[in-house]
Chains A and B, each alone.
Chain A
Amino acid sequence: MKTVRSLLVVGLFLLPAMLSVAAEMRFPPPDFQTDYKIPDLNSPAPVSSNGTRDAIILFIALSVTTWMVFKARSRRGLFIISIFSLAYFGFYRTGCICPVGSTQNVMAAVFLPDVGVSVAVLSFFVMPLLFSLFFGRVFCASVCPLGAIQELVAIAPIRISPALDRTLGLGRYVYLGLAVLGVATGSGFFICRWDPFVGIYRMGHSFGMLLAGGAILTLGIFVARPYCRFLCPYGIMLGWMSRFSKWHLDIPPSPCVKCRLCENSCPYNAINMPIPSHLVGDPEAGKRRIRRLVYVSPLIIAVGATLGYLSYEPLSRMHPKVALSERIAAENIGKLTTDTLETRTFRAGKQTVDELNAQAVQIREYFKTGGAWFGGFLALIICLKLIGLSTAPKRDIYTPNKETCFSCGRCYPYCPVEPLPKRS
């Protein structure tokens, strides 16, 4: 009812404008003498099949990967699926839409009042996570187009120290936090904007993107999967799911004999090694450490939130309106002497500088709240990581780390253990 009324109001409001169109047109529409009919506008509907088709292909790829990881235990098979995923999701579908980016569509639908999301996009987000909850990160193994391209170039991987690995891995949380901030403040979809591989999928779309992609891939020859390990925000969620997964790949097909042959096989530091008994700490001391950490963590989180709040200014520059307002100000006082297409367009438009600045002020306010959440979130993650490090669990066999293992199968061929004969 309400919409109908508002439509009517809008209609009434527009009516004079519409009626006066004929008068305002420089050349009145002709009065045809022949029986010529003014053609209808050709307005083809959106293609809807792509989303559904891609969702089905995603499901099939995930299923086949799961089979390769658990039943066939074939690194080769996984490699071939990687090539398919790279070709289809990467090059053919230009890397869009992918589950990593779909995180933002879902967040936009949650945060922004008038943005909806299609079932196809939602399934892109949900499916890999569900598979992860049951089978571990099979999506990362060979379905993700971003993972696949890195997996294929990782030919001479070196191992970096686990401590460095973990520290750099915090980058993923920064990225996730920024992505949420970007969506919630209406600044844009940063995961897509900074996706280093779309430049390659789209064959030279923008020079910056190509350069970033090339750099990450070159690094990826030696430090395998740098994007996955240090940046990918979706990988965090997959890792959480995988941690509690019902089934997960095992390095040996039957009980581990501790031959140590797989020790250096994983380029991702994802193999939990046995911990020699003299290194397993006193559990009581561990508990004390944890208790102390739990007590100080509210303080750490408060500090994080405050720092986040205080950095609202640089953070808010990620919003194009704020950037434009600052650039206009800089040009107006003569600090910058060249203009850009954006500032030229702004000056030619109707909006006044004051209006723009008012908008920018409003957006900065959002960034104060958002920045506080962002800082608090990072501090919380650091606390959780420290708590996780405070105890050394007892471990005496080689197992993949369920959270960080990509299920890539590189360790399979190193293990000499034969599968147990099948009971008939």
Chain B
Amino acid sequence: MSEGHGIDRRDFMRGAAAAAFVGGAYAAVGDKGEEMVWQLDPNKCTQCGRCSTHCVLNPSAVKCMNQFNICGYCDLCFGYLQPGSRGRDTGAENELCPTAAIKRTYIEDPYYEYVIEEEKCIGCAKCVKACLVFGNASFYLQIRQDICINCNECSIAKACPSDSFKRVPKLQPYIYLTGDVSTTKSQPSSDPNPPQTTLGPRSENS
């Protein structure tokens, strides 16, 4: 470090290198602008159950949600009750959900509302599968973005057999099923074959 010469050449080079490095790094990635977060595509999910076991969080950041506008509000909800429970009471031992995370509320005859209590849901997809096979497929899994810590590489993405996980823009972090044109938010998709967001393609997988 030379004395009395102000900035010497090495320092200058170092400063220039630092500036070029930071500037270059931001320029190389900055113009992509949008931040991305992980989400799973319910059109691809095959309810394998790994969502509940492979998240780095315990319980998983993946939860079931009920998209009410395509829910049938059925009295006999297959996502809610064990198969063959008809006529029995709706006690916890008859519920399909291993953690009794689905809350059933009477609305009016013959309709019931089913709300997923997210603190209890472990994302096991049992109810999702049942609702898909027997019902309207209004239950499906999503990463709850307020819980997910947005890992570098989502641990479930590595393990998902259906290749359901992808990065989506942070501003549109959920992938909804378009059950109803007026109220369902659909994701603009860069996918050349936009998913047919009805029951069709999903039931083939089940």
Contacts and interface: CB of A to CB of B under 8 A. Distances in A.
Interface of A: 3, 7, 10, 13-15, 17-22, 24-30, 32-34, 36, 38-39, 41-48, 50-51, 93-94, 96-97, 101-102, 104-106, 109-110, 114-118, 122, 125-126, 129-130, 133-134, 188-189, 192-193, 198, 202, 205, 244, 246, 341-342, 344-346, 348-350
B56 A202 contact: yes
Interface stretch (B79-87, B88-96, B140-148): B140-148
B72 A27 contact: yes
Contacts of A342: 161
Interface of B: 1, 10-11, 14, 17-18, 21-22, 25-26, 28-30, 32-37, 46, 48, 50, 56-57, 65, 67-74, 107-108, 111, 113, 115, 118, 134-136, 144-153, 155, 158, 161-162, 167, 170, 173-174, 176, 178-181, 183, 186, 188-190, 194, 196-201, 204-205
Contacts of B113: 36, 39
Q: Classify the secondary structure of B's interface with A.
A: loop
Given A97-B152, A205-B56, A342-B161, A27 B74 contact: yes
Given A47-B149, A130-B18, A205-B56, A28 B194 contact: no
Contacts of B25: 106, 122, 125-126
B140 to A, nearest CB: 11
Given A47-B146, A205-B56, A29 B173 contact: no
Contacts of B145: 43-47
B123 to A, nearest CB: 15
A345 B67 contact: no
Given A27-B135, A106-B25, A130-B22, A34 B107 contact: yes
Residue of B144, B150, B167 contacting most chain A CB atoms (<10 Å): B150
Contacts of A345: 46, 48, 161-162, 205
12 contacts: A17-B178, A18-B178, A21-B180, A22-B180, A27-B135, A51-B150, A104-B153, A115-B32, A205-B56, A341-B48, A341-B161, A350-B201
Contacts of B201: 350
Given A14-B186, A116-B36, A122 B26 contact: yes
B70 A21 contact: yes
A15 B180 CA distance: 10
B167 A29 contact: no
